[in-house]
Amino acid sequence: MKVRVLGCSGGIGGCHLRTTSMLVDHDLLVDAGTGVADLSRDELASIDHVFLTHSHLDHIASLPLLIDSVSDLREKALIVHATAATLEIIAKHIFNWAIWPDFSVIPSREKPLMEYRAIKLGESVQLGQRTITALPAEHTVPAVGYQLDSGVGSLVFTGDTTVNDSFWPIVNGIANLRYLLIETAFADRERRLAEISKHLCPSMLASELRKLAREAEIYISHLKPGQATLTMAEIAACAGDFKPKMLQNNQVFEF
C-alpha cells in the first residue's frame, strides 16, 4: 500500500499549504481537502473511492469539483464512504442543487456519478488486499479516523479529534501498526480554543500519547498556518520522548 499526503495543513496560504487529503495507491482518497486539486485530471479520474472522516470544509472542499471535473471520463460511480451522519450532512448542505448539483442522481438515479455508502464505527471495507476500518474520533460534528491495513502494516489517521479514550485501546490492539498520523491544530496558548473546537494542542497531545502502548512512527497533522513552528517546538518540549515529526505535503508512506 502506498499513501501519498496531498494535504495535511489546518489552512491554506502558499504552495506548501494544502488541507487534508491522502491518496492511497492510485484509486482511493482519505478525505478530499484542497490538496486534491494538485492532481492531474487523469489522476482524478482514477479515483474510485473517497473515505471522509467528517463533513468540515477543509476535508471535503475538493469533492464537489472532483466529481464535476472528471464526469466525462468515468464509466462508474465514485463511491463516497462516510458515517451515515456525515453523508446526510453533505447531501443536505453541499450536494443540494443550491450549493452544488446532486451527483447522486446525475445523470440518472439508476446510473449516478456519485454513490453514498455508509460505514459504521468499527466497520471494515475490503478493497483488494487493503482493509479500511473506521475508528472513533471526538469532534464538533460526527467524525471518525481510519486504519489503513495492507496486511503487512497499518497506518492510522486520527482525523480531527480531541481527547478520545475510546481510540487508544483499538490502536493498541493493532499488531502491525507502523504509522500514527495525529492532529494538533493549536499551540498551547490557544488551549481553550482547542477544547471548544475539539482539537488538540501540544499539552493535550502529550497526555493522549501516553495512552499509546505500541511502537509507531508518529506524525503531526492539521497544524495551523503561522503556528506550525511554535506548535512543533511545544510538542518537542512536552512529547519529545515519542519523537513526533511534522507531517509534510507529498510525503509518501509504503507498507
The mean pLDDT of 114-129, rounded to a whole number, is: 98
Q: What is the pLDDT of residues 171-203, one digit of tens each?
A: 999 999 999 999 999 999 999 999 999 999 999
Stated as kind and residue range, the H or E segment containing 68 is helix 63-69
Q: What is the pLDDT of residues 103-121, one digit of tens each?
A: 999 999 999 999 999 999 9
- Judged on CB neighbours under 10 Å (0-12, 13-18, 19+), 91 is middle
Rounded distance between C-alpha atoms, residue 71 and residue 90, angstroms: 19
Give this prediction's pTM: 0.97
The mean pLDDT of 228-247, rounded to a whole number, is: 97
The mean pLDDT of 61-88, rounded to a whole number, is: 97
Structure confidence at residue 15 as a pLDDT band (50, 70, 90): confident
pLDDT at 14 over 90: no
The mean pLDDT of 58-73, rounded to a whole number, is: 97
Domains and CATH numbers, the chain: 2-254 (3.60.15.10)
Stated as kind and residue range, the H or E segment containing 241 is none
For the chain, percent of residues with pLDDT exceeding 70 = 100
The per-residue pLDDT for 185 is: 97
**β strands within the chain, DSSP E:** 2-7, 21-24, 28-30, 49-51, 78-82, 114-118, 124-127, 130-136, 144-149, 154-157, 177-183, 217-221, 245-246, 252-254
Structure confidence at residue 16 as a pLDDT band (50, 70, 90): confident
Length of the chain: 255
Q: How does the average pLDDT of the chain come out, rounded?
A: 97
